[in-house]
A and B are shown apart, each in its own frame.
Chain A
């Protein structure tokens, strides 16, 4: 049976040359493809709006949204909103990430931290942060603190999870080899575990940056007068759908920008791959 199969394969190979097949999947991202798709969708959307196929109340046309953003920009309110939100997102994300990386490494490296940490993270991660808003207001008031805390909390859990998964995924034989050469613990962490876990950590950053953007809307439910989230909420409350979508577009632009920055970071920090 086996002999025959082998001989058949040998025969095939002899008679029919096969091109190299095992190139793997390499989804190269084309520079233009994404933009063309985006432009097409926007053009279609504008055409539907201009032709009167869609009620402008239910789906404002891109031009109306652009006009809303333009008006916001010339009134100067846009910068106030953007800077207020960026400050909250920035500080919240940095705090959440710093705590998340520290806890994630602790869980990945220490038995005690692992048994305690994973239990708490599993128990607390699924709590919707919005449900905690009244409590956050009682604890922290209505200033910047509860807004930053909302974002930091959301970022913390995702970061901690992606960091300890990254640490777990570092090949054990590399660590063992370093240990056999009597490399000190701190150096192993710095030279073996940190670079090994970095791809997973950066992938985690991609997610947490988006989480921070998502949470800015909930965070600014707490008595914010300025901020993109507050602007979106107000537009929703007032049924000003063009302004609502203008706020959403600004949030997406944030998202794109953050994606670019992390892409650049990956290239810089992971050039050894």
Chain B
């Protein structure tokens, strides 16, 4: 009995000692991400040990929607968040509880990410290009989401009013796909991963990619103001991410043709890392690579435009702009 107790105490002590030394050696950080290729540099930096080399002990926390990442960052459950801008994120940032510290994925010509898709009937009735969406019934996941904003940009580009489009929020991608397949709406904005499956089944027709129509800054790295006081930590995390950004850009994005990355001895290791973290086969990853700036830059002008748009629509609180939510010390602007 005594011997067991002694063993237990010794074991506890060693565990505590190990914990203590590790805490001294490495800066700890918890990063919240989605299992999407738009967070590829985070996966690369973690898998290839760029965080470790910088003396960081990074733990990835996986989420299944963008909004909870922003909320968890505010609440202090994670230190950094990497995900798409949403109206909710801006509203949190506008209250000063979140700061944007770097750029991530972008909608850019040649890199398919989100697309416009028509139902078969609407396509047959003459809905052939994104320009024709004026006056149609279009599904988005949520009001004020990145899909909704993309549609707003499209309206500006082709000079029709967004109010002419009947926006139908269906809350989830599966609902949106079902509505499109069931011919109850004319069109939907869907990410390429959802749309591929739908098109293969003949349930929808492709109209165009958001990136080709209206490029914009889709995602960002952000943190709570409390985390930003630890300058060393933030600088190290961003440096490791920038290294991965550069590698992802030079190896995969530079080799992409027709929106698809080739699988060869150069790209395969990185593609396999992305496949591992996104739980997708490599063959699906190649057609689903988000553009990410090689230097991790942020398109500040576009961020400001997003905020203004959301404020005009009444989705974001008034009285703040991009400058108020960006941590100037860390962000590299376009």
| Contacting residues, chain A, for B318 (C-beta < 8 A) | none
Of B67, B70, B91, B177, which contacts A240 at CB under 8 A? Answer: B91
Docked complex: B164-196 residues within 8 A CB-CB of A: 167-172, 174-175, 177-179, 181-182, 184-185
Binary contact track A221-244/B, C-beta < 8 Å → 1, others 0: 111110000100110011110000
* Contact status B144-A238, CB under 8 Å: yes
Give the interface size class of chain B: 35 or more
| A37 interface residue (CB < 8 Å to B) | no
* Contact status B170-A221, CB under 8 Å: yes
B152 smallest CB distance to A (angstroms): 15
* Contact status A134-B174, CB under 8 Å: yes
| A171 interface residue (CB < 8 Å to B) | no
| Contacting residues, chain A, for B179 (C-beta < 8 A) | 137, 141-142, 223
Q: Known contacts being A237-B67, A238-B88, A239-B92, is A221 close to B175, with CB within 8 Å? A: yes
* Contact status B143-A222, CB under 8 Å: no
* Contact status B87-A57, CB under 8 Å: no
Q: Known contacts being A142-B179, A237-B142, is A57 close to B74, with CB within 8 Å? A: yes
For the A-B complex, the count of residue pairs with Cβ-Cβ distances under 8 Å equals 82
Main secondary structure of the interface of B (DSSP, over half): mixed
Q: Known contacts being A238-B143, A239-B67, is A134 close to B87, with CB within 8 Å? A: no
Most buried by B among A135, A224, A234, A238: A238
Most buried by A among B70, B142, B182, B315: B182
| A133 interface residue (CB < 8 Å to B) | yes
Binary contact track B295-327/A, C-beta < 8 Å → 1, others 0: 000000000000000000001110000000000
Binary contact track A104-138/B, C-beta < 8 Å → 1, others 0: 00000000000000000000000000000111011
Of A134, A222, A237, which contacts B88 at CB under 8 A? Answer: A237
**Chain A residue with minimal CB distance to B86?**
A237
| Contacting residues, chain B, for A222 (C-beta < 8 A) | 170, 175
* Contact status B184-A141, CB under 8 Å: yes
| Bound CA span A143–B137, Å | 12
| B276 interface residue (CB < 8 Å to A) | no
Binary contact track A7-27/B, C-beta < 8 Å → 1, others 0: 000000000000000000000
Docked complex: A127-175 residues within 8 A CB-CB of B: 133-135, 137-139, 141-143
Q: Known contacts being A137-B179, A138-B181, is A57 close to B95, with CB within 8 Å? A: yes
Q: List 8 A-B contacts (CB under 8 A).
A: A55-B97, A221-B175, A223-B169, A233-B171, A237-B143, A238-B316, A239-B87, A239-B88
Question: Which residues of A are interface residues toward B (Cβ below 8 A)?
Answer: 55, 57-58, 133-135, 137-139, 141-143, 221-225, 230, 233-234, 237-240
Question: Which residues of B are interface residues toward A (Cβ below 8 A)?
Answer: 67, 70-71, 74-75, 86-89, 91-92, 95, 97, 139, 142-145, 167-172, 174-175, 177-179, 181-182, 184-185, 315-317
